Structure 1
Amino acid sequence: MQDYHINIFYSNEDEGYIADIPDLQHCCAFGDTPQQALQEVLEAKKIFLESAKKNYKLPLPQYKPLIYQANLREA
């Protein structure tokens, strides 16, 4: 079974790391480190999916990240 993609990024505004799961609307978490944000979002995912099983059909993983590479040159 395919699992849900997790994004982790640093937020200057929040001064910490944010982890979110694009396929699970509003499923995100905060941490002081990337590992802490990941741990928190995995717990949020567990709770989200337990609730979803009881209340509606589980969303299937669909998010496929695109990776872009830019070549920067000095002007």
Structure 2
Amino acid sequence: MLDIRYEIIIYWSEDDQSFIAEVPELPGCIADGDTYESALQNAHQIISEWLTIAKEENRLIPQPKGKLSFA
């Protein structure tokens, strides 16, 4: 597994009846799960896949910034 240092935001979605895990720094990188823990585990997997595909396609990979701040 790749070294994952991207921020993951996890929240409950009433519409989906599951926890949603978003990775704001990686466009389209979203996972879900029945529990908070499974959403986090699935997020780690999808981040790994996102980064692998980006490397294979020579796409720009954003450097992890850590905690995002909002105004």
For the aligned pair, the TM-score class normalised by the smaller chain equals 0.7 to 0.9
Which structure carries more relative contact order (alpha carbon 8 Å, separation 6+)? Answer: 2
**Length-normalised TM-score, structure 1:** 0.77
1:38 correspondence with 2:40 = yes
The AA in structure 2 aligned to 1:62 is K
Matched pairs, number = 67
Structure 2 stretches of 5 or more lacking a match?
none
Structure 1 stretches of 5 or more lacking a match?
68-75
1:22 correspondence with 2:7 = no
2:7 aligned to 5, 8, 17, which one? 5
3-state DSSP class of the match of 2:12? strand
The list of structure 1 runs, each at least 4 consecutive aligned residues, that deviate by more than 4 angstroms after superposition, is none
Q: What does residue 71 of structure 1 align with? A: none
**Length-normalised TM-score, structure 2:** 0.81
Task: Give the C-alpha shift of residue 53 in structure 1.
Answer: 1.0
> Cα–Cα, structure 1 residues 28 and 2, in superposed 2: closer, same or farther, change >3 Å?
closer
Structure number with larger C-alpha Rg: 1
